[in-house]
């Protein structure tokens, strides 16, 4: 998507209420906010007439994720609105102008935000909602608006469905209003006879999805299966954050991708997949693509922190430009590569496959099958095997690679242990993963520092600071190796205890 985005974002904090009555005629009067110390004045605004067409896929994928996409005319904010969950009472609204395009053509900027959900499926109208809105603007003692009370008369219909009419009230904070104020205002609304809305949005009521925030849409009889289902949901969430270039989102999406892969590898039988399954290789390659941006992000932060910690007289030459600015440029390049991959048919098919694994029933056990070893046992064997290789390694490069394998094994063990309730094993495995993560970052950093020092030397620059940074990385790696043996002993003890409890 070339060019500057025309979208804008803001967070809305609101609560909706059902109003007793029939056919849109209330049987109660509007609430009064008199007497509240936080409200000094109530301003009645002109009545607004709002018309909106809501869009979704044929399978209602957006609604399943509590997301709404609409094209609205009328009122002060006419345009395309995409509303995303952002916590209790809160949603992030992404807006785009109506523009001159076909009124049924969803703007690409908005489609891209939810591309991991809609993929290559068409978006078409699913409902039409007209609202006559009366707004009371509530002002605080300082004269600033702090909240809105909306009285909505709604006429709506799903595509091909009958017309529905109802009345609803809505409270929305304005500016930096706090949750305590929303609670006090909501009490007045409830005292007037309203009740908390049975649906999170007007569209939810029209489509009658019957879905609540606590709904679990997957089987929960197997803990690893449930863990995979949760991580697949997280993958879609972090996908949106990466597209918005939210800080640390590439890292979190990569971690989530690796968690899913580790869980599938350690419990493939639950999902009917083998170690060489296509989906595992696709997850590995996705993590590798994300890793380009992530590695650059790590280096930029590492070098910036290290250089800030040195006395100014020890930072010689354009070292900050080469190391920090250079890494930030590589991050942006890596992010662009990641987004290209995340807009591909290949990525869509991976997401389809993951959803299919979550939804499918496990393969039935065959008569005579031996009980499989526990996932923890299988994952721990990999850690022990890698530790033995590290102990026997004769060269530094071989030793570094063996330590990296210990880390990957500990990571898989950690995720599996966490999913199966073995908290102490997960904690000990996490310690090893963190130690050897620092070690691996040091290996990557030292290689990069050597390359950059050679380039600086060729350009006639002072390379003194590169040597200082290199030595700091050596010390990081040494500390990690010194603590590893004790961490491995504690892990072994935790695994043995977990095994004894399971017998």
Percent of the chain at pLDDT > 90 equals 70
Strand partners, 11: 92
Consecutive H or E run containing 282: helix 278-308
pLDDT of residue 500: 63
Residue 275 has pLDDT above 80, yes or no: no
> Which of 96-105, 140-149, 156-165, 363-372 is least confident?
363-372
Q: What's the pLDDT band for 110 if we cut at 50, 70, 90?
A: very high
Q: What is the pLDDT of residues 328-361, one digit of tens each?
A: 999 999 999 999 999 999 999 999 999 999 887 6
**Which pTM does this prediction carry?**
0.83
CA distances from 255 to 152, 218, 234, 425 (A): 44, 22, 10, 19
Quote the tokens at residue 65.
């994720």
> Which of 71-80, 139-148, 232-241, 270-279 is least confident?
270-279
CA distances from 206 to 63, 161, 162, 214 (A): 11, 9, 10, 20
CA distances from 499 to 224, 267, 384, 472 (A): 17, 17, 16, 40
Determine the average pLDDT of the residues in 211-236.
Answer: 71
Determine the average pLDDT of the residues in 65-85.
Answer: 93
> Which of 48-62, 124-138, 380-394 is least confident?
380-394
Q: What is the mean pLDDT of the chain?
A: 88
> Which of 90-94, 253-257, 261-265, 362-366 is least confident?
362-366
- φ, ψ for residue 155, nearest 5 deg: -125, 125
Place of tokens 């499989």: 372
Quote the tokens at residue 256.
């989530």
Quote the tokens at residue 295.
């590695």
pLDDT of residue 215: 42
CB neighbour class for 396 (10 Å; exposed up to 12, middle 13-18, buried from 19): exposed
Integer Cα distance of 408 and 412 in angstroms: 6
Integer Cα distance of 435 and 419 in angstroms: 22
pLDDT of residue 291: 95
> Which of 3-12, 275-284, 297-306 is least confident?
3-12
Task: Find out whether 415 and 259 touch, Cβ atoms under 8 Å.
Answer: yes
Integer Cα distance of 280 and 424 in angstroms: 27
Alpha helices by DSSP H, 169-277 = 179-191, 202-207, 223-243, 249-266, 268-271
pLDDT of residue 396: 81
Please list, in sequence order, all residues whose beta carbon lies within 8 angstroms of the beta carbon of residue 128, skipping any fewer than 6 positions away: 51, 52, 53, 54, 156, 157, 159
pLDDT of residue 453: 97
- φ, ψ for residue 147, nearest 5 deg: -165, 165
pLDDT of residue 101: 61
Q: Is 248 helix (H, G, I), strand (E, B) or coil?
A: coil
Strand partners, 80: 71, 96
The better pLDDT of the pair 200, 309 is held by 309
Q: What is the pLDDT of residues 418-432, one digit of tens each?
A: 888 889 999 999 999
Residue 150 has pLDDT above 80, yes or no: yes
Integer Cα distance of 476 and 481 in angstroms: 9
Determine the average pLDDT of the residues in 403-428.
Answer: 90
Question: Residues in the chain, how many?
Answer: 503
Task: Find out whether 275 and 265 touch, Cβ atoms under 8 Å.
Answer: yes
Integer Cα distance of 110 and 115 in angstroms: 9
- φ, ψ for residue 439, nearest 5 deg: -65, -45
pLDDT of residue 387: 93
> Which of 19-28, 83-92, 139-148, 153-162 is least confident?
19-28
Provide the sign of the torsion angle of the four alpha carbons 408, 411, 413, 415, taken in this order: negative
Report CA 2 to chain centroid distance, whole Å.
Answer: 24
Residue 2 has pLDDT above 70, yes or no: no
Residue 67 has pLDDT above 70, yes or no: yes
| Rama region for 35: left / alpha / beta (φ>0; ψ in -120 to 50; rest) | left
Residue 25 has pLDDT above 90, yes or no: no
Residue 372 has pLDDT above 60, yes or no: no
């Amino acid at each position: 998507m070339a060019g500057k985005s025309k979208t804008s974002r803001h967070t809305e904090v609101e609560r909706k209420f059902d109003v007793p009555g029939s056919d849109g005629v209330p049987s109660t009067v509007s609430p009064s906010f008199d007497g509240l110390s936080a409200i000094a004045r109530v301003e009645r605004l002109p009545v607004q007439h709002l018309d909106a067409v809501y869009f979704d896929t044929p399978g209602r994928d957006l609604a399943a994720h509590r997301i709404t996409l609409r094209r609205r005319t009328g009122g002060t904010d006419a345009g395309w609105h995409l509303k995303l969950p952002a916590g209790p009472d809160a949603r992030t609204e992404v807006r785009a102008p109506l523009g001159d395009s076909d009124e049924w053509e969803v703007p690409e900027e908005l489609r891209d935000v939810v591309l991991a959900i809609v993929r290559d499926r068409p978006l078409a109208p699913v409902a039409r909602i007209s609202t006559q809105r009366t707004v009371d603007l509530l002002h605080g003692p300082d004269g600033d608006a702090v909240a809105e009370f909306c009285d909505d008369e709604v006429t709506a219909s799903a595509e091909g469905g009958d017309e529905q009419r109802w009345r609803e009230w809505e409270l929305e904070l304005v500016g930096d209003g706090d949750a305590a104020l929303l609670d006090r205002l909501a009490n007045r609304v409830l005292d007037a006879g309203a009740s908390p809305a049975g649906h999170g949005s007007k569209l939810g009521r029209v489509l009658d999805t019957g879905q609540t925030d606590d709904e679990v849409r997957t089987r929960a009889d197997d803990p690893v299966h449930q863990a995979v289902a949760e991580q697949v949901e997280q993958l879609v969430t972090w996908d949106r954050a990466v597209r918005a270039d939210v800080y640390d989102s590439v890292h979190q999406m990569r971690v989530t991708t690796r968690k899913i892969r580790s869980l599938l590898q350690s419990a493939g039988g639950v999902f009917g997949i083998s170690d060489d399954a296509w989906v595992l290789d696709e997850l590995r390659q996705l993590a590798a693509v994300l890793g380009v941006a992530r590695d650059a992000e790590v280096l930029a932060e590492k070098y910036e922190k290290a250089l800030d910690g040195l006395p100014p007289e020890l930072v010689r030459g354009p070292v900050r430009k080469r190391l920090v600015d250079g890494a930030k440029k590589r991050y942006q390049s890596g992010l662009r590569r990641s987004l290209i991959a995340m807009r591909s048919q290949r990525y869509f098919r991976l997401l389809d496959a993951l959803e299919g694994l979550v939804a499918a029933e496990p393969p039935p056990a065959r008569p005579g099958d031996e009980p499989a070893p526990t996932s923890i046992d299988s994952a721990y064997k990999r850690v022990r095997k890698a530790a033995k290789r590290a102990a026997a390694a004769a060269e530094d490069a071989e030793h570094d690679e063996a330590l990296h394998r210990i880390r990957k094994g500990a990571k898989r063990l950690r995720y599996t242990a966490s999913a199966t309730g073995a908290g102490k094993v997960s904690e000990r495995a996490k310690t090893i993963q963190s130690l050897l993560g620092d070690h691996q970052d040091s290996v990557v950093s030292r290689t990069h520092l050597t390359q950059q020092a050679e380039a600086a030397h060729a350009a006639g620059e002072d390379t003194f600071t590169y040597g200082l940074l290199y030595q700091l990385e050596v010390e990081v790696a040494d500390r990690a190796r010194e603590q590893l043996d004790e961490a491995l002993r504690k892990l072994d003890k935790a695994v043995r205890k977990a095994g004894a409890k399971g017998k």
